[in-house]
Amino acid sequence: MERMQPDRETVVNSSMSARTSPDSLAPSNVESARINHLIGRITYYASRTLVPLVLLTLFAFLLRRYHLSSESLWFDEADIVSRARQPASVLLQGFTQAGENGPLYTLFLHYWLALLDAVPLLGRVVQAIFGMGYEAPVRALSVLFGTVSIAPMYFLARRVGGHWVGLLAAALLTINPFHIWHSQDAKMYSLLVLMTLVSTLLYVKAIERNTLILWSGYVISTWVMLTTHSMAVLVLLAQLVTTPFLFRSRNSDNRGQPSTDTAAQNDNKSKIQNPKSKILIVRWGWAMLLILGPLFPIAWLRGAALVTNTVDVGGWYAPAGLHDIIGTVAVNFAVNRADPLWEIIAALTMGVMAVLGGWRLLWTTDDGRRTKGDQTGLSNPKSKIQNPKSALGLLILALCLLPIAGLWLVTLRVPLFQARYLIMALPAYLILVAAGIIWLRRINPLLMVIPLAVIALTSSVALAGVNYSSQPQKEDWRGAMVYVQDHARLRDVIVVFPGYLRTAVDEYYEPGGPGHVPLIPIETIPSLHTQGFGERELDQYLREKMTCYERAWLITSPTRQEQEDPEKSVQQWFQYNNQTFDTQEFNGVTVYGIAFNGVYNCWYPPPDFPEVHRFEIGLEFSGYIYELRDDATAQTDASFFPLTLYWRSGPQMSTNYLVNVKITDSSGKIVKEEALGPLNGYWPMSQWPSYKDIIDYRDIRLSGGMAPGSYSVSLQVYPPDRPDQPLRLEGGGTEIVFKEPLQIVPWHP
């Protein structure tokens, strides 16, 4: 049998008590001894608890603040930011709507953004603390919630498994890639983790101490948790399921009373009749009534929606079995995302430690001994559950397993599984892992080094390769809209599909500014799942929406497009009926530039500067437009030169040609030369219809800081592999020099 080792705190307190016993001191020294005793205790707790917690919290903040603005807001973030900018009266209605998820976080974000807008100095301070860029202040709330979670994680884990389990659990949460990821997301998940910890910790303390302050704190924190995310009801369920065991362990904690079976039975009977026990039950009942009473109407509506299968998930989620859910959660809780080998290593290591931790918390006491039933060789599960630490261990197991089982049961009716929906189970899982590692320490301290090293290594790999990767990991709406704004023209239109993605486009579309970004309309397309909205209705709708526009920028998310339109009817309408001139892929976002070769169903725009030049093969150059923004007479942003070329095709051509555009300064020096096929190579001349007018859009990038003045623009046409053999013009020569020069003003970033 393992030898009992007294806790260091007990030794320190005993030695202090021995030195400061009032019987051994003169009356005049009693007060001084008490002060020394208090100072000693403060110093001890500061070195043992406060300092490590402060260091872990600081490290957690740095990990969550790092690269905070490097990633664009993805759609869900942009959507919640868009809703947060609505009036508070509208947001308050979300608390009574069955389909609303996370209304409280949205309300918090509303006042946070309003405060930053109202106090510019605060905004600058927040940027100094959290990082520059637009995204950092928006995500700052999530960073704060994630950072503050470290302390309650320690205190809950310490109550369950002791100081070292608490400290290790807090450290695991500090470096956990999954928690860091969602602490850098402008969504409610880091707040959900925080309130899960606070609610559970207050629940345990309220049952133990039974004070009105603790019960009130529990009710408030639980309401915050439940209005943060609808899946938080599974945390409340875990608390309720383990309540009888927590009550029983409280009543069986005799604290100095005789430990014989007869005395214990008599003591339990007396406690059941004790007025304090009755007060505990009454206060617990009131707390549940205050929590469940207002929740009942919303729970009834959501339950009815599940039963009748009327929950609209929009095709966003695929069905998932219990095995898939457990495997996904194991990987996400360990590393979130990494290379497959690292995912397997991390998931298996933490899974084994969690199983050991569950066994340790349920079947042993906090000092490592087996419970009385095991020591005598008898099987007595009740005696094990009655142990206070075992009851808390059961609570941790319930907090880990019940959310997984509960969400799985929901998915049997409605497929809506996402790993982030189970993030409230992450703290309990990490506590189990910490308990398993500390249990290895009791066998041999060297054994715990292996899982600790594996967890540290895999977490570092995941953080470096995903969370802090130089390549975008989230939907890059920022990059997509920067590109569109750089290339947008006055008669363009933006088309967003699926339509609900418009909030992400609106978040990053900023007309005006130094680049004189034109204000162009943004159109959306109704859901193709709408009853009565078939191919004919889609064709009519798009024809009406595209009328009087010259070009369209179709912006879509491939994954969401596949869910909404697996046949790609929308994309085919644009690309088959018209000409694609640009395709840009960003992480999770694709941009298609579509040219209508005229103003759709409206009129045909003539060139601003008509100049007719005919080539000997029958091809005709008709003129050009300098697409200067805001009707400017000079190019104010010399990094971007939008040029429109007009052609008229001759007989059907069998050969493709490149159009080389050259810009020279007043001294004859070439400052830019670029050869491309028409429409950036998307519309080869061999595919041109005979004797038709063709519009060719060229977006020419120029180096910033060009000297102001007049620049000459010219072009030549030649085969791709023979630039030395340009096509000849009727009347002689091969080069067309535009009569109208390009005026340049220096570009200043």
Strand order across the 522-524 sheet:
522-524, 492-497, 551-556, 589-595, 579-586
Residue 121 has a CB neighbour count (10 Å cut-off) of 7
Tally the residues of the chain. 749
CA distance 539 to 544: 9
Q: Which residues are within 8 A (CB) of 326 and not within 5 positions of it... i.e. 6 or more apart? A: 404
* Residue ranges of the chain whose pLDDT lies below 50: 1-20, 22, 24-25, 254-273, 365-385, 749
Please compute Rg for the chain using Cα positions: 34
Average pLDDT, the chain: 85
CA distance 242 to 422: 19
Do 191 and 143 meet the contact criterion of CB atoms below 8 Å apart? no
DSSP state of 85: T
Residue 404 has a CB neighbour count (10 Å cut-off) of 17
DSSP state of 66: T
Q: Strand 579-586 to strand 589-595: parallel, antiparallel, or no bridges (unpaired)?
A: antiparallel
DSSP SS3 for 329: helix
CA distance 485 to 166: 51
Q: Which residues are within 8 A (CB) of 38 and not within 5 positions of it... i.e. 6 or more apart? A: none
CA distance 71 to 77: 11
- Cα→Cα distances 357→129, 229, 334, 509, 514, Å: 38, 28, 16, 50, 59
| 717: phi then psi, degrees, rounded to nearest 5 | -120, 130
- Cα→Cα distances 325→76, 193, 402, 415, Å: 22, 19, 13, 12
Block residue for tokens 């707040």: 191
- Cα→Cα distances 657→19, 250, 258, 597, 690, Å: 98, 86, 100, 19, 16
State pLDDT tens for residues 592-643.
Answer: 999 999 999 898 889 999 999 999 999 999 999 988 765 555 555 556 788 9
- Cα→Cα distances 455→168, 273, 679, Å: 12, 49, 52
Compute, in degrees rounded to 10, the torsion defined by CA atoms 278, 279, 280, 286. Answer: 110
What pLDDT is recorded for position 46? 67
CA distance 152 to 141: 18
CA distance 171 to 427: 11
Full-model pTM: 0.85
What pLDDT is recorded for position 577? 84
Do 635 and 628 meet the contact criterion of CB atoms below 8 Å apart? yes
Q: How far apart are the first and last CA of the chain?
A: 74
One-character DSSP codes across 115-155: HHHH-HHHHHHHHHHH-SSSHHHHHHHHHHHHHHTHHHHHH
Residue 620 has a CB neighbour count (10 Å cut-off) of 17
- Cα→Cα distances 559→315, 325, 495, 556, 648, Å: 11, 20, 17, 9, 40
Do 366 and 393 meet the contact criterion of CB atoms below 8 Å apart? no
DSSP state of 466: I
Among 390, 472, 352, 356, CA closest to 71? 472
CA distance 434 to 361: 11
Tokens of 87: 């009036």
Residue 240 has a CB neighbour count (10 Å cut-off) of 14
What pLDDT is recorded for position 748? 52
- Cα→Cα distances 70→144, 184, 327, 482, Å: 18, 10, 30, 15
Do 639 and 705 meet the contact criterion of CB atoms below 8 Å apart? no
